[in-house]
Amino acid sequence: MAEQLFLYGVYSIHVRPLELNGARWDAEYEIRHRDKAVKAWTTVGGDHGYGDATEAIAEAHRQAVDDIEHGAGIPKPRAFP
């Protein structure tokens, strides 16, 4: 599965699935603002991973949105919604 792109306000969230052994999946995400990474690639899934790539991508997207909402070292522009 290819890298997915989600827009959230002025940020773009790039998510790509990672296939593990035994048909399990992790995913990693990067948050960008104006094509510059404001949070480097971060992996979600852990030791056991998820049952399919879609589930892993959804969890990575959810975690990225949480990171934006709760700071996580990400600067918020003045015009953030």
The reported pLDDT for the residue numbered 27 is 96
Listed in sequence order, the DSSP H helices in the chain are 53-69
Predicted pLDDT at 80: 56
Mean pLDDT in each 10-residue stretch from start to end of the chain (81 residues)?
A: 88 94 91 90 89 94 92 66 55
Q: Give domain 4-69's CATH architecture.
A: 2-Layer Sandwich (3.30)
Residue 77: per-residue pLDDT: 64
Distance CA 4, CA 77 (A): 24
Whole-number pLDDT of residue 21: 83
pLDDT of residue 69: 87
Q: What is the pLDDT of residue 79?
A: 59
- Rounded to two decimals, the pTM is 0.85
Q: Cα torsion at 23, 54, 27, 37 (round to 10°)?
A: 160
Spatial distance between the Cα atoms of 20 and 14, rounded to a whole number of angstroms: 19
